[in-house]
Homo-oligomer: A and B are copies of this chain.
Amino acid sequence: MTDRTGTGRVGFPAPSTDRGSSARGLDLEGQRRRGHGSFAHRDVQARDAARTAAPDIAVADLLGLLAFGELTAFERLATDARMAPTLTDKIALAGIAAAEFAHFEAVRAHLVRAGVDPVKAMEPFVSPLTNFHNLTAPADWLESLVKVYVGDNIAADFYREIAAVLAPDVRALVLDVLADTGHAAFAVERVRAAIEADPTVAGRLALWARRLMGEALTEAQRVAVDRSALTGLLDGMGDLTALAELFNRITLAHTARMEALGLST
């Protein structure tokens, strides 16, 4: 990847004293429009965009994705809390949801400080993330716990791959937002206990976890193609082979986690 800052890291340019000027410099709509065309054509475009796009567009994309990811996670977890079998479980899941909203607020504040309109930064990701959640609405409490565990981990894997190339302040924000606050542990303990109590649920949950991963990859592919500046953040990501390798690493890590949980398919 072209080292655009001379430090090997990408981030927002220092905001000017006029809060609005940096936001006006972004051309998110134009960036999105340029993403159209055939897949092969997009590949070329992605490479070009990775070389020429201003780093702040890529970082606005990354943080817009992260912000909307946290916002929808909040909504869905709070909705799933209604399926909790006990008040204690309901409180625990609601607490996880509230933590996701705090993360959303942190990312939004960062975007505003950088002079980026958070709503504009999130908009490109509304459709893929909403699709993902609509296609993976849990049917019961256990499915919702597996989704917390799977979702938390693949998001963490994805952002950890990207964090290495970010400017220190953005990297700190991303790692802070993704810091495990015990959510995965909460989910995994309860799933493990449910499988021990009734081993027949394992098969259903294994298929569910596999479907979650499949739908996540489908939407991720779409985002990768539509948001070339974002994919350009990763070294050589204009190359679709490298992108496929990233998705493959995330899938392998997911499969290993599912096996450890007794959910292999």
Contact = CB atoms under 8 A, between A and B. Distances in A.
A234 to B, nearest CB: 27
B75 A81 contact: yes
Contacts of A75: 78-79, 81-82, 90, 94
A216 interface: no
Contacts of A119: 87-88, 91
Interface in A78-113: 78-79, 81-82, 87-88, 90-91, 94-95, 97-98, 101-102, 104-105, 108
Nearest to A134: B82
Nearest to A118: B91
Interface residues of A, number: 24
Interface string A112-137: 00000001001100100000000000
A74 interface: yes
Contacts of A97: 78, 101
Given A74-B78, A78-B75, A81-B75, A94 B101 contact: yes
B79 A94 contact: no
A71 B94 contact: yes
A98 B91 contact: no
Q: Which of A94, A97, A108, A119 has the most CB of B within 10 A?
A: A94
Contacts of A94: 71, 74-75, 101, 104
Contacts of A126: 87
A78 B90 CA distance: 14
A256 to B, nearest CB: 32
A51 to B, nearest CB: 31
Contacts of A104: 94
A71 B91 contact: yes
A130 to B, nearest CB: 9
Interface of A: 71, 74-75, 78-79, 81-82, 87-88, 90-91, 94-95, 97-98, 101-102, 104-105, 108, 119, 122-123, 126
- Ranked nearest first, the 7 interchain pairs of A and B with the lowest CB-CB distance are A78-B78, A98-B101, A79-B79, A87-B119, A75-B81, A75-B78, A98-B98
26 contacts: A71-B91, A71-B94, A74-B78, A74-B94, A74-B98, A75-B78, A75-B79, A75-B82, A75-B90, A75-B94, A78-B78, A78-B79, A78-B97, A79-B79, A87-B119, A87-B122, A87-B123, A87-B126, A88-B119, A91-B119, A94-B101, A94-B104, A95-B101, A97-B101, A98-B101, A98-B102
